[in-house]
Amino acid sequence: MKLLVIGGGGREHAVVKALKKNKSVEKIWCLPGNGGIARDAECFPVKATDLDGIVAFARERRPDFAVVTPDDPLCLGLVDRLEAIGIPCFGPRADAAVIEGSKVFSKRLMQKYGIPTAEARCFSDPPSALSYLKTCEYPTVIKADGLALGKGAVIVNTFAEAQTVIDDMMVKKVFGESGNTVLIEEFLTGPEVSVLSFTDGKTIVPMVSSMDHKRARDHDEGLNTGGMGTVAPNPYYTPEIAKVCMETIFLPTVRAMNEEGRTFRGCLYFGLMLTPKGPKVIEYNCRFGDPETQVVLPLLESDLLTVMRACREGTLNEEAVKFSSGAACCVVLASDGYPQKYQTGYEITLPETQNGEEIYVAGARLAEGKLLTSGGRVLGAVGTADTLEEAVERAYALAGRIRFENAYMRRDIGKRALKALHS
Ligand code: AMP
Ligand code: GLY
């Protein structure tokens, strides 16, 4: 089998490494990939948003199966384009990817089908948004409708803060067209859980749960980032809660998308908040999370390619998708200064990895045989073990053996989860 993987982050490195375990895989092309992925797949500098470039590449090389992981190409319809030239894909078509691409769409879907989520109202003009904001309780949450690099949700504590956000999103258009419409939603509280799932549009199989650490600094302080680390499983996500989520959220979402004529096939990601009134949906993503994937896939015992093909073929009910009962922790090594300004171009020295260790490279490029930092999040050091304690210890021990100038990591990944486990 020849495979094509689209994307170039740590998540894609984890996907490529998991796909490679299947003995029938003879070749993986990754567009654009990165300097670390290049050790495991053949990378070409075609951007994930260059749909024409990707389709031209696929026409020439004829992969047997393609895996599209980033949100942009999914929402732009890359799966539709690849399938139109006869290449089966893992990932939703554009009409289903809208579940992430438009927060207004997903909110209306949840409201229509009674899927628990924060109360919210949509506004397309600044004056009506502002007059509503004068009357609402604080804190409240303002979200840009469209994709905004994960920065489109802002918690505001006062009307004055809300005014600034409305001005940025709707008038100055800092997220472009994504801010044409905004959602103003109720502020919820409770632990957050990420649940990625495989679905073929009929059957839905949740993967092991995980916990992201989005803030840049220890103790959940500092700016929001793409994610500074993850652990799996998430100790807040008990079997009882999992059952409630399956009945009130997961299955109803799959059915709702079918009802709307937008059958979702691929990885459906549920960003949940376990509120005092039960689990509620904070967001849907139409793809694997980053860096959730880096802790979820190392715990997958089944063959990833087989499961992905079953999602495409509609035969997921015939697959036993198994996860290990152990735990995993991913510590992200970033360029100091991320998510704002940072320097790149430093050489990375990677250690040999042992059993229970994985390194997934995100922001690095190859230059004359050397691996150099090239992004904010440079790589993830992952430890897997029987227990979360050991997994966290392993991830930090591995992170400590990775060297590059200007490296920064949080020191408290997994701390909150361990505390929850022992309380
Ligand atoms: P989103 O872009 O929708 O995933 O939101 C980013 C982050 O903002 C989430 O991970 C939450 O921590 C927070 N957030 C989003 N919506 C709410 C809400 N309704 N109440 C409280 N926090 C929220
Ligand atoms: N880690 C959150 C996301 O991938 O959206």
In this predicted model, what pLDDT tens digit does every residue of 16-64 receive, in sequence order?
999 999 999 999 999 999 999 999 999 999 999 999 999 999 999 999 9
422 CA from centroid of ligand 1 (Å): 26
Our mutation pick for probing the ligand 2 site, out of 212, 214, 234, counting the most ligand atoms within 8 A of Cβ, is 212
Distance 282 CA to ligand 1 centre (A): 6
Q: What is the CATH number of the domain that holds 77?
A: 3.40.50.20
Q: Bin 310: left if φ > 0, else alpha if -120 < ψ < 50, else beta.
A: alpha
Residue 185 near ligand 1, beta carbon < 6 Å: yes
Overall domain count for the chain: 3
Residue 198 counted as domain residue: yes
In this structure, the answer to whether residues 372 and 284 fall within a common structural domain is yes
Q: Examine the fold and report which residue of 52, 79, 94 is the final residue of a domain before the chain moves on.
A: 94
Q: Is the pLDDT of residue 150 over 80?
A: no
Range of the domain at 144: 119-186
pLDDT digits (tens, 9 = 90+) for 207-220: 999 999 999 999 99
Model confidence, pTM: 0.96
Q: What is the DSSP string of 350-401?
A: PPPP-TTEEEEE-SEEEETTEEEE-SSEEEEEEEEESSHHHHHHHHHHHHHT
Residues 144 and 57 grouped into a single domain: no
User: What ligand 1 atom has the least distance to the C-alpha of 120?
Assistant: 19
Q: Is residue 113 one of the residues assigned to a domain? A: no
Count CB neighbours of 59 within 10 A. 12
Q: What percent of the chain has pLDDT over 70?
A: 100
**Is residue 184 within 8 Å of residue 104, measured between CB atoms?**
no
Q: Report the alpha-carbon distance of residue 287 to residue 292 in Å, rounded.
A: 11
Q: Are residues 243 and 387 in the same domain?
A: yes
Domain closes at, from 94, 111, 135: 94
Cα 81 from Cα 85, distance rounded (Å): 7
Q: Are residues 211 and 306 in the same domain?
A: yes
Between the CA of 135 and the centroid of ligand 2 the distance, in Å, is 32
Residues within a 6 A CB radius of ligand 2: 150, 212, 227, 285, 289-290, 292
147 and 198 fall within a common domain: no
Q: Is the pLDDT of residue 15 over 90?
A: yes
How far apart are the CA of 309 and the centre of ligand 2, in A?
23
Atom 3 of ligand 2 has which residue's CA nearest to it?
289
